[in-house]
Amino acid sequence: MNSPSASATATHNTPVEKSFSPLVRQFLDYLKLERHFSDYTVKSYGADLIQFGQFLSGTIGPNSAVAATQPAVTEQQLDEKQVKCEPLTIREFLAYLYAQNYTKSTTARKLATLRSFYKFLIRRGHVSVNPLSTIRTPKQEKRLPKCLELEQVQKLLDAPGDADILSARDKAMLEVLYSSGIRVSELVELDMADLDLQEGVLRVKGKGRKDRLTPIGSQAIKAIQRYFELRNSDSKSQGAHVNRVFLNKHGEPLSTRSVRRKLDKYLLMAGLDPGISPHTLRHSFATHLLNNGADLRSVQELLGHQSLSTTQIYTHLTTNRMKQVYDQAHPRANEPSIPHPATQQNQNPPQPYSKAV
């Protein structure tokens, strides 16, 4: 029987393909257990670090042909490469991403992953100098989020109907998303204990496990009540996951992917842009609140944003809306130039003065 130390050595000496090195595993455990990041976020960080590890080991990148003729890099060797990484290597990795036609936003996300990873290594004493300290994040194009008009929202919310349990569930989901502005990941995590339909409030488990209270409107409450009415007589909904609010047809918790598929179905039925995502309802929620006089700080709290600067993107949408209203309503908004008042009072040129003789 192998001793624990022999087993650990064997693990460290296994070749790296698409597995996590020990330091990366420690970092991902830290994100999940101490920072309380979502499973999806931890998975994304892990994917970025696997790619970076493949680049360091030569599996991908300009040195891949040479590396193919060499013995495979072990997990222990990969950790050594990560610890000894220099700024030049980071720049070479960025050049590789550019050559692979990655977008600026994706490259920025991968850089953010590496920054977090190396800050973690510095705190744990594995690294003394951060190789990303001199690396700048590529400047990204500012793209305004998509937003639905009120008439489009109404078409979408009316599309499911509520004749049966599944359509009633879908209508309730869409109503809650637009009424509260919560994320889809927050929607599918809702438990019965998180609902207070009497007060019209949801308790939302946000990013980093930070709970917040979010109000919902009367139409969303009505849709939820209709869904529960049908669900109470459905035997499949009375199983092990009975405490979860939104269930699939098998009585299991609904996934974020399922919500996207349902939205695609109703976009088609309503004749709306198929590029609309569940997050568009969140954007629409924020924009419509600001258009109707809500202050930015309140919208920030409702959305669960840590920083006000994240919420400020919606002010660009509302500014555009105000500009449109101004251009349509102000009498001089589209005048090529401002005429002098004297030219309006006297259109005829003055006659020369002649003195009587």
Rg (CA), the chain: 29
Question: Is 305 annotated in the active site?
Answer: yes
- Strands (DSSP E) contained in the chain are 195-196, 201-205, 211-215
Residue written as token pair 């349902």: 262
Q: CA–CA separation, 120 vs 265, rounded Å? A: 43
The secondary element (H helix, E strand) that includes residue 344 is helix 341-345
Active-site residue, from 35, 126, 305, 321: 305
**AA identity, residue 152:** Q
Q: What single letter denotes the amino acid at residue 333?
A: A
Backbone φ and ψ for 161, nearest 5 degrees, come out as 70, -175
Is position 355 annotated as part of the catalytic site?
A: no
Residue of 183, 205, 231, 283 marked active site: 183
Residue 180 Cα distances to 59, 128, 130, 299, 340, angstroms? 46, 45, 41, 11, 52
Integer distance in angstroms from the first to the last C-alpha of the chain? Answer: 135
Strand pairing of 211-215 and 201-205?
Answer: antiparallel
Residue 314 known to be catalytic: yes
Is residue 261 part of the annotated active site? The answer reads no
CA distance 105 to 272: 27
User: Is residue 332 annotated as a catalytic residue, yes or no?
Assistant: no
Active-site option among 207, 222, 241, 321: 207
Annotated catalytic, 123?
no
Of 35, 203, 222, 279, which is the active-site residue? 279
**Token code pair at residue 278:** 């569940």
Instruction: Write down the catalytic residue from 231, 282, 283, 288.
Output: 282
d(CA 56, CA 49): 10
Catalytic residue IDs = 183, 207, 279, 282, 305, 314
